[in-house]
Amino acid sequence: MTQTLFGDGAIRRTSLLGSSIENTYAGVLSFMRRNYTRELAGADVVVSGVPLDLSTTFRPGARLGPAAVRAASVQLAELKPFPWGFDPFEELAVTDYGDCWFDAHNPLSIRDTITEHARTILASGAKMLTLGGDHFITWPLLIAHAEKYGKPLSLIHFDAHCDTWPDDNRDSLNHGTMFYKAVNEGLIDPARSVQVGLRTWNDDFMGIPRIDAPTVHEIGAQATLERIKAIVGDNPTYLTFDIDCLDPAFAPGTGTPVPGGLTSAQALHIVRGMTDVNLVGMDVVEVSPPFDNSEITALAAAHIACDLLCVLASRKKAGLA
């Protein structure tokens, strides 16, 4: 039996399992009220933030994203998530590790700091769910995940942008070139990876299959899901969700919005169908609260992150993770 707590379970709960009864408008704002702790023993999944926006090419503000997503997650901790109908924290031991600290005034140290942050968590045996921050953070996270799970990983990449523009300077901070580097460094297998929701052009997509946004609209969410699963198979897979994959109508609070994107309903349908995918790591990035309206972008990101946890809980219940 897990204990029932009334209020501030994030700092009062003694078990990593179970949920607390909270006033949604009050209390400590960990992600979905999970225990705020740096203790890693016993955790299945560790949530952490990387509040970086030094790599953006247009609008800043994603450094405030992790805090906004945590705040938006309070509703999701109140009831059993829809459409799952179960409390994922009865199955899945999830903690909130807080944020990765890096020296924002020493930019060339940031990549390695994020990688070391991830190495520490992954060494415990826990999986990571990371809240961005701009999309640059996925590259150092992939470095640590590829070390842990073996090269090359599959990548499921939701985005308006391919992020494979050429960049041979390993020290550059650029949120549009990470997967160019990840392919060239052998971190991901382009043939067993997939990009979903794209609506920008690149002369060289690095051999990664694409299901662009018009195609998703044409074939539908379920057919898109089946294509994704056919591409990645059972390969260890890292999933990264740039919130600008969604149309600006559903996610205005982001650094580089592009019209014509996925609806939140399409994205959630696809993510919820990932229970057959061997997910080894996940992130949700590019929420920029200064450009958000009524926190709808942060809310969409929190729902996606919650559904990813429910996917992992379902896999654990089925003995798959």
Binding site listing for Mn(2+): 135, 159, 161, 163, 242, 244
Residue with tokens 């805090």, as numbered in its chain: 67
Binding site listing: 135, 159, 161, 163, 242, 244
Q: List strand residue ranges (DSSP E) for the chain, in order.
A: 35-36, 45-50, 94-99, 127-132, 154-158, 194-196, 210-211, 237-242, 279-285
Write out the two tokens for 279: 């997910």
- Count of CB atoms within 10 A of residue 133's CB? 29
Asked if 45 and 312 touch (Cβ cutoff 8 Å), the reply is: yes
Asked if 171 and 229 touch (Cβ cutoff 8 Å), the reply is: no
Asked if 15 and 41 touch (Cβ cutoff 8 Å), the reply is: no
Phi and psi, residue 238, nearest 5° = -105, 130
CA distance 301 to 317: 24
CA distance 291 to 88: 31
Q: Give the bridge partners for 254, in sequence order.
A: 287
| Residue 316 CB partners (closer than 8 Å, separation 6+) | 44, 91, 92
> Three-class SS of residue 104?
coil
Backbone region of residue 65 per phi and psi (left: phi > 0; alpha: psi in -120 to 50; beta: other values)? alpha
Q: Tell whether omega for the bond before 83 is within 30 degrees of 0, i.e. cis.
A: yes
Q: Give the bridge partners for 210, in sequence order.
A: 195
Phi and psi, residue 23, nearest 5° = -80, 120
